[in-house]
Structure 1
Amino acid sequence: MRNMIDGTKTLLEQPTLSQMILAKLLQTSEEKRALEKDVSSLKRDVLNIQKKTSDLEEQVAALQDLSCKQPEDALNTKVLSSMPFAIPIAQTEEPNQLPAFETTNKEFVTAVVVEYTNNRPGRR
């Protein structure tokens, strides 16, 4: 008889099914709150990225607009020792023409050539 009472006592000490379900529900709701917090944080990150993207797109548009209006000012036309006497020449009315320079050898080169010559690798 004593074994029966001891066996009954161990059954009473074990958690009931409803207690196990309640514990699982609490755990699940905590996990859900943590996931909702993560989702909220990710949404804020996405909004910040979209704002930064928009700001960068505006800057790119402004720079493109500036470079279309003033190509000779947009390019760095500083002349170093490689072309010390490259002098800017007058522009024609063609909108797509790059700024040009005349060298001491009476050759005409574009600003891109001057820029490359001044900044080529191994030059610095």
Structure 2
Amino acid sequence: MRVAIAGAAVLCLVAVQPASAAWQTSNQGNAAAKAVTASVPGGLTCVKSTGVISWTAVAGVPEYEVYWSDKDQGGQGTFTVVTGVTTTSYTVTGKVPLRAKIRSVAGPWTSTQSAEKICS
């Protein structure tokens, strides 16, 4: 009876797949777990006349990626990306923004979704 139970336990261990992460990073090194939530910023506004894009801060998120486009194209236009923004607003100069998107960045992690807005 013990042989059958031991054999079943080994079979269960072999059949289990290794764990995978729900996020990715290209950084290498020793792992130290720290809970970080890179949530989607809320309260996104975009004003064509001033070029100001603003949003509500996400607690614990040190920076943001701002995406803006001066083309409408039914949501398919190319975006200009501004990285490393540490405030909750960005001003587009020399162009008129028609659409804006914001993503949270916490170290090597970036929110998988973004807030998007048609500028008014």
| TM-score over 0.5 for the pair | no
Q: Which has the higher helix share?
A: 1
Q: TM-score, normalised by structure 2?
A: 0.30
Larger radius of gyration: 1
Q: Which has the higher contact order (CA 8 A, sep 6+)?
A: 2
